[in-house]
Amino acid sequence: MAGAVLFSTKAIFVKLAYRDTPVDAITLLSLRMIFSLPFFAIYALASSSKSTNVKFTTRQWIQIAVIGCLGYYVSSLLDFIGLQFVTAGIERLILFIHPTIVLLMSAIFFKDKIRSIQWIALAITYAGLMLAFFSELDFNASQNNSFVLGSVLIFICAFTYAAYIVGSGKIIPLVGAAKFNSYAMSFAGVGVLLHFFLTSDKSLFNLPATVYGYSFSMAILSTVIPSYLVAESIKRIGSNNAAIIGSVGPVSTILMAYIFLQEAVFPLQLIGTCLILIGVLLIGKQKKAND
């Protein structure tokens, strides 16, 4: 839950950067990775130098590279672009469709059983998400194209992030949560920077100080710390439960967007928030009972 809340601050930092500076999506994402990559690279090297280290197989190297790039390169890029067209609250609501996709992927590809409590929690959680979502919909025809484009990009982001959650849930038990996270994020960071240098003619060294401030804060608070928390949670409770508990993310985003971005909060959002919390508490109660 702590990881989900911290991850939610990413949208706030992105919207603040768009509001206060002329920075574009790929530049902002590249700065986020530049500031966070040293932490992941250092930990990756440190974990590989331990006497208890188990070397990756060639297959595992490929899996980690693909999963990492899906989760934090492709997904992040789509998310950053989509945030140019929708509010932070809507972004988080769409993005958190991914628990449903995670459950379906796990059931289809890995034959994982979906428990009754998970179905109940999903139903309650997504009822809340839908209420909050429709409360913010703007049916003004002049804004429809941008809104639909942003929503579609973030929906695809939810799908690729779900693939990351499912894939990481299968490989983390084999290689370790922290080690996997360090290498996966390192691969993603390299992918982002290659994308920037191949497609952008802008410099990363003459931007306003505000851009660097937002980027550094996003790297530490929204990337490094929560990524380790989420990886460890997947190890302890599994990808399905981690994804559902992560549904608390939209709640924190809506509240932070209201405080820092002055985004409106509607009554249906508050009702949706309550339903989301009930769904999360159901999962927590089931986890405690299993323990």
Residue range 169-178, pLDDT digits in tens:
788 888 887 7
Statement: residue 29 has pLDDT above 80: yes
Q: Are 32 and 218 in contact (CB under 8 A)?
A: yes
Query: Residue 195: its pLDDT value, please?
Result: 94
What does the alpha-carbon distance between residue 114 and residue 134 come to, in Å, rounded to a whole number?
28
Q: Which of 82-96, 107-121, 133-147, 193-207 tops mean pLDDT?
A: 193-207
Eight-state DSSP code of residue 138: -
DSSP per residue, 196-259: HHHH----SSSS-HHHHHHHHHHHIIIIIHHHHHHHHHHHHH-HHHHHHHGGGHHHHHHHHHHH
Statement: residue 247 has pLDDT above 80: no
Residue range 46-75, pLDDT digits in tens:
877 776 677 888 999 999 999 999 988 999
**Ranges 99-103, 225-229, 271-275, 283-287: which has the least confidence:** 283-287
Query: Residue 210: its pLDDT value, please?
Result: 95
Q: Is the dihedral of CA 49, 53, 58, 61 positive or negative?
A: negative
Region 107-130 average pLDDT: 79
